[in-house]
């Protein structure tokens, strides 16, 4: 709260202001765009994204890499044979998973507010995906997979925003 003396208050009351709804909506939109341009995404979010996507990402073992036969099948537009999927990601400490999930949820709230003002077209589908992932409560053995999906959804929105720190 700001204290204002009587002389300043009197000049503020006498100033002209607009009651035109169209003008007020225009000013509100300008203020929101200015705030969105001023507020950036923190480096801590990028560090957590790197932790989930970078450190925990493992290349496929040599036995699961694409054989040469697959290249031929793709060129002939034939279906690829089904292969065993790689095992699930190594388990994560539940406290660490909860910390990262909370961080992603706060980032989702921030992105919901910033993304519409920092993109040419509002990314409704991507934001809806973020909200759905924020609402999910995966079992502990699926925490890493859930956090990876969540991280990639956040990266999709950041890419659309042009934020590539």
Please tell me the distance from the alpha carbon of residue 109 to that of residue 130, in angstroms, as a whole number.
9
Q: What is the mean pLDDT of the chain?
A: 77
66-122 pLDDT per residue, tens: 567 777 777 777 776 666 555 555 678 889 989 999 999 988 988 888 888 777 788
Q: What angle do CA 22, 28, 32 make, to 5 degrees?
A: 145
Give backbone dihedrals phi and psi of 5, rounded to 5 degrees, phi first: -75, 170
pLDDT of amino acid 60: 47
End-to-end CA distance of the chain: 35
Residue linked to tokens 């001023």? 38
pLDDT of amino acid 112: 87
Tell which wins on pLDDT, 36 or 152: 152
Please tell me the distance from the alpha carbon of residue 44 to that of residue 145, in angstroms, as a whole number.
21
The closest of 104, 114, 109, 106 to 47, measured between CA atoms, is: 104
Mean pLDDT of 134-153: 89
Reported confidence tier of residue 134, pLDDT bands at 50, 70, 90: very high
The closest of 33, 5, 1 to 122, measured between CA atoms, is: 33
């Amino acid at each position: 709260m700001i204290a204002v003396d009587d002389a300043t208050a009197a000049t503020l009351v006498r100033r002209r202001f607009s009651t035109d709804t169209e003008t007020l909506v225009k000013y509100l939109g300008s203020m929101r765009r200015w705030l969105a341009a001023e507020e950036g995404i923190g480096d801590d979010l990028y560090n957590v994204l790197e932790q989930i996507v970078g450190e925990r990402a493992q290349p496929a073992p040599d036995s699961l890499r694409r054989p040469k036969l697959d290249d031929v099948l793709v060129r002939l537009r034939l279906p690829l044979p089904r292969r065993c999927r790689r095992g699930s990601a190594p388990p994560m400490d539940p406290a660490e998973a909860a910390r990262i999930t909370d961080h992603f949820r706060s980032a989702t709230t921030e992105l919901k507010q910033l993304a519409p003002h920092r993109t040419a077209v509002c990314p409704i589908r991507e934001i809806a995906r973020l909200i759905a992932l924020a609402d999910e409560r995966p079992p502990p053995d699926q925490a890493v997979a859930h956090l990876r999906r969540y991280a990639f959804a956040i990266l999709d929105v950041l890419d659309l925003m042009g934020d590539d720190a």
